[in-house]
Amino acid sequence: MVTVKEGTRPPWVGLGAAVWVQIAAGNSYNFPLYSHSLKSVLGFNQHQLTMLGVANDIGENVGLLPGIASNKFPPWIILSIGAVACFLGYGVLWLAVSRTLQSLPYWLLWIALCVATNSSAWLTTAVLVTNMRNFPFSRGTVAGILKGYGGLSAAVFTEIYSVLLRNSSSKLLLFLTLGVPVLCFVLMYFVRPCTPASSEDSAEHGHFLFIQAASVVVGLYVLTTTVLDDSFSLSAPITISFIVIMVVLLMAPLAIPVKMTFLGSFREGNDSSSEIAMLLAEGEGAVKRKRRPKRGEDFKFTEAVIKADFWLLFLVYFVGVGSGVTVLNNLAQIGIAQGTHDTTILLSLFSFGNFVGRLGGGVVSEHFVKTRTIPRTFWMTCTQIIMIFIYLLFASAISGTLYAATALLGICYGVQFSIMIPTVSELFGLRHFGIFYNFMSLGNPLGAFLFSGLLAGYIYDSEAAKQHGLNHLYGTNVSCLGPNCFRVTFLVLAGVCCVGTILSIVLSIRIKPVYQMLYAGGSFRLPQNTNN
């Protein structure tokens, strides 16, 4: 760990840099932007396309290796591996879509997409683990900010895709191949572990509030400019200015360390309190316990997986993100089936909703856990109840509801991320947080495989074959039109969310005493009964 004064600039510089890395880590959300090219240029049917969507989600969320590596190597090594994976994976996809290389086998493209999006797991793990440890008393806020910017990344990439790259899939893939690695190599020095402040501070709260407000401005700006560019024929100078202003707005978090440089650090203490010293010692493994840990203390992975709360949280998260990613992966086809051919606006709405859910979930859960000791998972319960009605709305295909349903689903989907991350750290500690976080993230590709790959793709191709009078499903590249293309899928997802709601209620009741212990004083406190 870097030895610096608590509360000084390095953690805030790292958080500002982490915002950019987290946006780069959202490269996996671009799948709807180039999936149509994979289908048309390479002649894939919907089942093959949805299985590529599964590869997209597997790569993004299978992060056990990054989780293990985050406890053994510094962040710059984790970021370097992610950058190389991004270059290799997207490079192969670009060669295929641009027809630079002809007739690349399907299995190679599937593996390439896994490798490409696995860069997200490495990048996210590096910045999330580092900043959660740098700001241990503001876990929900930090998780909400970073995952919020991650959710906003789809809108940022959509802006680049539609404004700068003029809706070219091959140019987008080339941009991901080269742009993301370059960004990571430039910023990796600034993302580093630092000695955190000994307690939450009023100035720290103000700094977080500034970053949250700046992220909202960026989200509204990107959504507005994307819609304007899609609706009107704007000149090149205007569209270029959109990108320049967006880049400036994304640099807003760096204003905090700049301000601290000129006005002085808000906290210049040299000695950390015994509480933070204990937190760091346990986080680094210096403290050895002679008994099994209790919830709220640091668990080993083998100790956590035998706990019912661990699996309840996994299942609740699996339902929330697994059902939501099914819609995301099939968003272009859902829009076409309901008569809307503009994928960019749908993706921008989902992305903005995802951003609002991630940021808002962190802010709201942080407020109520400190003022009312309400378990964070209570908000997963609320959003999954809402998701039931959203899926029923999708299934009904009522005219004029597609855009609103997509944005609302994005919000509910985003909340699942910002709640799971601090919850798993609070229940099972920060020492092996990277492993716990990435194991929980497996719920996303598992849901994509079951609900998108096996269910949605099969039903879509079956209905498309029926509409076109075909007797077989595979080897065809036909589109399905009408609400029946996804109706059964949406009804199944609504039923799954009913189960997830029940599990979430059970989990919230079980962990209520843990939160009463951890936040009894209005802020996070380590368990006082640790036996060293």
> What is the reported pLDDT for 403?
92
Any idea what DSSP says for residue 298?
P
Residues 6+ apart with CB under 8 A from 450: 322
Q: Evaluate if residue 531 carries a pLDDT over 70.
A: no
pLDDT tens profile 357-405: 999 999 899 889 989 999 999 999 999 999 999 999 999 988 889 999 9
Amino acid at 83: A
Query: How far is it, in rounded angstroms, from Cα 118 to Cα 379?
Result: 28
Residue 197's pLDDT band, with cuts at 50, 70 and 90, is low
Query: How far is it, in rounded angstroms, from Cα 64 to Cα 44?
Result: 31
Residue 92's pLDDT band, with cuts at 50, 70 and 90, is very high
Average pLDDT over residues 152-174: 86
More confident of the two residues 35 and 8: 35
Q: Evaluate if residue 319 carries a pLDDT over 80.
A: yes
> What is the reported pLDDT for 526?
60
Q: Evaluate if residue 276 carries a pLDDT over 60.
A: no
Residue 473's pLDDT band, with cuts at 50, 70 and 90, is low
Range in 36-45, 61-70, 288-297 with the lowest mean pLDDT? 288-297
Q: Evaluate if residue 267 carries a pLDDT over 50.
A: no
Of 23, 19, 34, 75, nearest in space to 180 by CA:
23
Q: Evaluate if residue 341 carries a pLDDT over 60.
A: yes
Which of 216-230, 255-269, 331-345, 370-384: highest mean pLDDT?
370-384
Q: Evaluate if residue 270 carries a pLDDT over 60.
A: no
Half-sphere exposure of 136 (CA within 13 A, CB side): 28
Residue 210's pLDDT band, with cuts at 50, 70 and 90, is very high
CA angle 273, 275, 277 (to 5 degrees): 70
> What is the reported pLDDT for 33?
84
- DSSP alpha helices (H): ranges in 160-299? 169-187, 202-231, 236-250, 255-263, 274-284
Residue 407's pLDDT band, with cuts at 50, 70 and 90, is very high
Query: How far is it, in rounded angstroms, from Cα 438 to Cα 65?
Result: 9
Of 59, 128, 17, nearest in space to 329 by CA:
59
Residue 237's pLDDT band, with cuts at 50, 70 and 90, is confident
φ, ψ (nearest 5 deg) of residue 193:
-70, 140
Half-sphere exposure of 20 (CA within 13 A, CB side): 26
> What is the reported pLDDT for 152?
80
Range in 115-119, 156-160, 193-197, 320-324 with the lowest mean pLDDT? 193-197
Q: Evaluate if residue 440 carries a pLDDT over 70.
A: yes
> What is the reported pLDDT for 471?
64
φ, ψ (nearest 5 deg) of residue 295:
-55, 130
Distances (CA, A) of 236 to 229, 233, 243, 258, 391: 10, 9, 11, 33, 39
The total of other beta-carbon atoms located within 10 Å of residue 294's CB is: 12
pLDDT tens profile 46-63: 678 878 888 887 888 888
pLDDT tens profile 484-508: 999 999 999 999 999 999 999 999 9
- Burial letters for 399-424: b for 16+ Cβ neighbours within 10 Å, e otherwise? eeebeebbbbbbbbbbbbbbbbbbbb
Q: Evaluate if residue 445 carries a pLDDT over 80.
A: yes
Q: Evaluate if residue 417 carries a pLDDT over 50.
A: yes
> What is the reported pLDDT for 198?
64
User: Mean pLDDT of all residues in the chain?
Assistant: 85
Q: Evaluate if residue 469 carries a pLDDT over 80.
A: no
